[in-house]
A and B are shown apart, each in its own frame.
Chain A
Amino acid sequence: MSQEKMLSGCAAAAQGAKFAEVEVICSFPIRPYTAIMMELARMVANGELDAEFIHGEGEHAQVSVALGASAAGARAYTGSSGVGVTYAFEVYSPAAGGRYPLQMAIADRTLDPPGDFGSEHTDAMSARDQGWLMGWAATPQEVFDNTLINYRVGEDPRIMLPQFVCQDGYFLSHIPDKVILPELSQVREFLPPYRAPHPLSPQCPVSHGPQIRPDQGAPMDAQRAMTFLEAPKVIKEAVNDFNRIFGRNYDPFLEKYKMEDAEIAFFIQGAHANTCKSAVNQLRKQGLKVGMVRPRWVRPWPTEQIAKALSRVKAVGCVESSTSYGGATRGGNLIHEVRTSLYDLEKRPMVTSFMAGLGGDVIMLEDFNYMAKILTQMAKDKKTHQLVYWVGFEDGE
């Protein structure tokens, strides 16, 4: 019997790892993600979960341990937050290049200066180009589900890549919501055991991560690039299987909310989407045709799906929650990808970015009202007046 529980995002992630029957876990404390490891440690201690629980001496060690475990053929799990995510940076590329499908749970935290522990997506977004699969959840249920879906996609023989499973710190990681925990048999049907193609073994000695020549580097890059061409197909299969087995209704790539007749749209990732949906409802009561698109994956970026979803709107506002200082729009990261995705449309919408939800700020309803006002004006004037708006910090706001 599946059961319903009130779980925070962290507890849901730990449950996801437990149901995925992870074999090696490597921890190091940093809030807010620490709660995941606390849960898992409890499970291992009381015999609920049979896994090696290793205390790393830092985040770099954490991902290295997970990499080694994965190389030896174990399903490995680790995680971090904020500066911990950036401290482990060196290991990200080898993990993807060596094709180790380990999973790293990230509960976002603002990067220093100094010591802001609020949620901001910059930590994980900084690592988006390292060849990992990556995506944000919006509810504890989705955290649980993404944990399983990511292992399934990452361990697929066509993919074999590590995965960042991200959730907003505190907003998601520490606020409980209803989570349906399935039967273990359902999970086993969905997620077959991990089989490493060439595990480290004394019986059949293999070299992992050898020195290669410069002319072998480009084909290695091409290997990873090819994997990302395959990934959308594999994700689609996995999510369809997931929906069938667990009775859910996920779109593989995007959550579209009231987009059928929308003229302006918010593009937003993570848990802020929940507030955004309330804002959409309120704004619709005022007669505004507004909708919301939330990507479930950042890597692979769902280019075609986004182009299709936003092809009929007049103005799009990317609600950023991450910084790209000095970037093309002086704003966040999402707009670079969204604008690129829309560039080849015959009638492309105007796109601007809203800097909001930074440093742990809550994006309030009135912030969405303010953004909607700007988007409406853009649609009316048929002009992008500004490439970026710092919500709450603009002149005359």
Chain B
Amino acid sequence: MKTRKQKIQKAKGKGEKARNLRTEPKNLKMRTGGPKATTKISGGGRKERVRASGDLFGTIHVPKDRAVPFGAITPAPVKQQELFITSNWRIVRPVIDHEKCTRCFTCYIVCPDSCWSFNEKEEKMEWNWRFCKGCQICINECPADALSAVPELDFEDGVVRLEKPF
């Protein structure tokens, strides 16, 4: 059995660094394309068996039109689903100061709703208003102090101003 120390030394020998998400954001690949979004579970990779039987226990048979993929694992819907916009209970929103931002990706890692992504063209972090609930974890965790909490009332499109939020 190889110890971790040995593995790290081996990796160093090859001129590689041990993988560390916090210090090496370049290793993170953002998703930019992929299969179309799907609301119906279908076409999972592994086909789950549809029939099984045990002597005493009869036979279970899932009809074709009700079949679901193994463990309900499906290709990820890369498209954002308009049906699932869930930001209408936001009281404050994180506002980024791009001058202060060091692109450390801490917000990307800590956001429970994956609302921060990296715009590779413009080389800056992008905030997703559709799913941000205003929990402020990114604001608290930002090591560069680049994020601040601004009340929704301060924005013309603030969710509190919407008559029928989404």
Which A residues lie at the B interface, using CB under 8 A? 21, 47-50, 97-100, 160, 184, 197-198, 202-203, 205-213, 215-216, 218-220, 222-223, 225-227, 229-230, 232, 303-304
Give every chain B residue within 8 A of A197 (Cβ-Cβ): 45-46, 70, 73
Interchain CB contact (< 8 A) of B53 among A98, A211, A229: A229
B73 in contact with A98 (CB, 8 Å) = yes
Binds A, one of B59-67, B128-136, B147-155, B157-165: B59-67
B76 in contact with A206 (CB, 8 Å) = yes
Within 8 A of A (CB), among B32-59: 34, 40-41, 44-46, 48-49, 51-57
Q: How far is the CA of A198 from the CA of B5 in the complex (A)?
A: 29
Selected A-B contacts with CB under 8 Å, 16 pairs: A98-B71, A160-B71, A197-B70, A198-B44, A205-B75, A206-B75, A207-B73, A207-B74, A207-B77, A216-B68, A218-B66, A223-B48, A223-B70, A227-B52, A229-B52, A229-B60
Give every chain A residue within 8 A of B72 (Cβ-Cβ): 97-98, 209-210, 212, 216, 220
B100 at the interface (CB under 8 A from A): no
**Chain B residue at smallest Cβ distance from A223:** B48
Asked whether A206 and B66 contact (CB < 8 A) given A197-B45, A222-B60, A303-B56, the answer is: no
Q: How far is the CA of A227 from the CA of B74 in the complex (A)?
A: 20
Asked whether A226 and B60 contact (CB < 8 A) given A21-B1, A198-B73, A205-B76, the answer is: yes
Q: How far is the CA of A368 from the CA of B4 in the complex (A)?
A: 51
Give every chain B residue within 8 A of A211 (Cβ-Cβ): 84
B46 in contact with A198 (CB, 8 Å) = yes
A210 to chain B, nearest CB (A): 6
B75 in contact with A220 (CB, 8 Å) = no
A158 to chain B, nearest CB (A): 8
Give every chain A residue within 8 A of B45 (Cβ-Cβ): 197-198, 206
B55 in contact with A304 (CB, 8 Å) = yes
Which B residues lie at the A interface, using CB under 8 A? 1-7, 28-29, 31, 34, 40-41, 44-46, 48-49, 51-57, 60, 62, 66-68, 70-78, 84
B3 in contact with A50 (CB, 8 Å) = yes
Give every chain B residue within 8 A of A97 (Cβ-Cβ): 71-72
Q: How far is the CA of A222 from the CA of B71 in the complex (A)?
A: 11
Give every chain A residue within 8 A of B49 (Cβ-Cβ): 226
Q: How far is the CA of A215 from the CA of B77 in the complex (A)?
A: 20
A202 in contact with B4 (CB, 8 Å) = no
Q: How far is the CA of A209 from the CA of B69 in the complex (A)?
A: 11
Give every chain B residue within 8 A of A227 (Cβ-Cβ): 52
Asked whether A99 and B71 contact (CB < 8 A) given A205-B76, A207-B77, A222-B62, the answer is: yes
Give every chain B residue within 8 A of A49 (Cβ-Cβ): 1
Q: How far is the CA of A229 from the CA of B61 in the complex (A)?
A: 12
Interchain CB contact (< 8 A) of A50 among B7, B52, B77: B7
Q: How far is the CA of A230 from the CA of B48 in the complex (A)?
A: 13
Interchain CB contact (< 8 A) of A223 among B1, B28, B62: B62
Give every chain B residue within 8 A of A47 (Cβ-Cβ): 3-6
The 9 closest A-B pairs by CB, nearest first: A47-B3, A205-B76, A226-B52, A99-B71, A229-B54, A229-B52, A197-B46, A198-B73, A202-B29
A50 in contact with B62 (CB, 8 Å) = no
B54 in contact with A232 (CB, 8 Å) = yes
Give every chain B residue within 8 A of A209 (Cβ-Cβ): 72
B90 to chain A, nearest CB (A): 21
**Chain A residue at smallest Cβ distance from B53:** A229
Asked whether A219 and B4 contact (CB < 8 A) given A209-B72, A229-B54, the answer is: no
Give every chain A residue within 8 A of B34 (Cβ-Cβ): 205
* Residue in A203, A210, A218, A225 whose Cβ sees the most chain B Cβ within 10 Å: A210
Q: How far is the CA of A197 from the CA of B76 in the complex (A)?
A: 15
Give every chain A residue within 8 A of B29 (Cβ-Cβ): 202-203
Give every chain A residue within 8 A of B67 (Cβ-Cβ): 219
Give every chain A residue within 8 A of B51 (Cβ-Cβ): 226
A240 to chain B, nearest CB (A): 19
B57 in contact with A229 (CB, 8 Å) = yes
Q: How far is the CA of A160 from the CA of B70 in the complex (A)?
A: 10
Give every chain A residue within 8 A of B6 (Cβ-Cβ): 47
Interchain CB contact (< 8 A) of A202 among B5, B31, B62: B31
Give every chain A residue within 8 A of B5 (Cβ-Cβ): 47
B79 to chain A, nearest CB (A): 12
Give every chain A residue within 8 A of B76 (Cβ-Cβ): 205-207
**Chain B residue at smallest Cβ distance from A307:** B56
Q: How far is the CA of A126 from the CA of B72 in the complex (A)?
A: 26
Give every chain B residue within 8 A of A202 (Cβ-Cβ): 28-29, 31
B68 in contact with A212 (CB, 8 Å) = yes
Give every chain B residue within 8 A of A226 (Cβ-Cβ): 49, 51-52, 60, 62
Q: How far is the CA of A222 from the CA of B62 in the complex (A)?
A: 7
Give every chain A residue within 8 A of B1 (Cβ-Cβ): 21, 48-50, 184
